[in-house]
Every structure is written in structure tokens, then in C-alpha cells.
């Protein structure tokens, strides 16, 4: 009669054996962001131009209005066109981030936006807050660079929304 050998139990990996989370460096994040300006921003801008007319592209921008540039008084932006453009950006970015954690630019840079606590896809409300946080980061001018001073490379908009950007494994 053949002697049966006992089955080995599956062993869970120890903490030292689990893969370490690698946060995306500033350079990868910037590459993804600037790529998205062309891959998401350009089509949206062309759509708004087609709907509101070519003259809309020659008006002052929202930042011109905020800083009080004289151009904003002589050639003010159409508030409906501006709101539509920002709304389309919001929907596009949040949808991409929620669906896969990646916009086209982030996919190219091989990075993902995740919930900072769970490292899974973040909920819509956090991603919407992250998008609004982009404006806060832009207005402070240093918000995007906060990540250079942190181990986890989280920028101001990530800290405000509870998100992080990690390297794709």
C-alpha cells in the first residue's frame, strides 16, 4: 500500500515578501498631465469651438479674469462656454480615473490614480475633489510641487482628496 504524503498548506506571504507600493515620481506625473492636455483637452477645446464659434478661442481665459488682466475686461470669456469646457474636463478626467485609474497620458506614463488608503480605484467623490484640487494646486503655484518634498510624492490635490498616484505593476 502506498503511503500518502500530507498536502502542503498554502503559506501567506510575509510583509517583507509583499510587493512594495511604488509612488509615481514627479516626472512621470508631469508627462501624463501634459499628454492629457493634448489627448483630452484638445478635443474638448475643438468641440467647444465648434459649438460656440471660433471667436470664443480668442477671449480671455478664466485665469485672466481671476488675476484681473486688462484683457479680461476688453474681451471677456463667455461664461457658458467656460463652464461647459470645465464640466467636460471634469466628466472626462473623473470617468477615466474611476474606470481604470488612468487617463490616456497616465496610461502612457504607466501610472494610476488610486485611493491612498486602499490602493484601489477611488470613488467618484474623491476623484471629483481631486479634479477641483487641481485648481487649488494651480492657484497656489506650489501645489503641484508639494510632492517633491514627500516620500509618497502626493501633490496638494492628492492630499485634499485622499488619492495617490502609483506606478503600474
pLDDT tens digits for 107-156? 999 999 999 999 999 999 999 999 999 989 988 889 999 999 999 999 99
- Residue 163 in grid coordinates: 488619492
**How long is the chain?**
169
In angstroms, the first-to-last Cα distance of the chain is: 48
Q: Output Rg (C-alpha) for the chain, integer angstroms.
A: 22
| Average pLDDT value over all residues in the chain | 85
pTM for the full predicted model: 0.79
| Band of residue 8 on the pLDDT scale cut at 50, 70, 90 | low
* DSSP summary character for residue 8: P
pLDDT tens digits for 60-105? 666 666 677 777 777 777 788 888 989 999 999 999 999 999 999 9
Residue 163 and residue 152 in contact, taking contact as beta carbons nearer than 8 Å: no
Q: How far apart are CA 131 and CA 93, in angstroms?
A: 8
Q: How far apart are CA 36 and CA 23, in angstroms?
A: 19
Q: How confident is the model at residue 140, as a pLDDT?
A: 86
String of b and e for 116-149 (b: at least 16 CB within 10 Å)? beeeebbeeebbbbbbebbeebeeeeebbebbee
pLDDT tens digits for 26-54? 999 999 999 999 999 999 988 988 888 87
Amino acid at each position: 500500500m502506498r503511503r500518502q504524503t500530507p498536502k502542503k498548506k498554502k503559506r501567506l506571504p510575509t510583509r517583507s515578501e509583499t510587493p512594495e507600493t511604488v509612488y509615481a515620481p514627479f516626472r512621470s506625473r508631469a508627462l501624463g498631465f501634459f499628454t492629457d492636455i493634448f489627448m483630452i483637452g484638445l478635443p474638448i477645446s475643438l468641440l467647444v469651438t465648434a459649438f460656440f464659434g471660433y471667436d470664443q478661442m480668442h477671449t480671455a481665459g478664466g485665469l485672466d479674469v481671476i488675476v484681473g488682466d486688462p484683457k479680461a475686461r476688453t474681451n471677456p470669456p463667455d461664461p457658458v462656454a467656460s463652464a461647459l469646457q470645465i464640466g467636460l474636463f471634469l466628466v472626462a478626467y473623473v470617468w477615466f480615473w474611476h474606470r481604470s485609474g488612468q487617463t490616456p497620458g497616465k496610461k502612457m506614463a504607466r501610472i494610476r490614480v488610486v485611493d491612498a488608503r486602499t490602493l484601489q480605484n477611488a470613488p467618484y467623490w474623491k476623484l471629483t475633489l481631486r479634479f477641483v484640487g487641481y485648481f487649488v494646486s494651480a492657484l497656489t503655484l506650489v501645489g503641484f510641487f508639494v510632492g517633491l518634498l514627500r516620500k509618497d510624492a502626493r501633490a496638494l490635490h492628492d492630499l485634499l482628496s485622499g488619492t495617490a498616484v502609483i506606478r503600474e505593476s
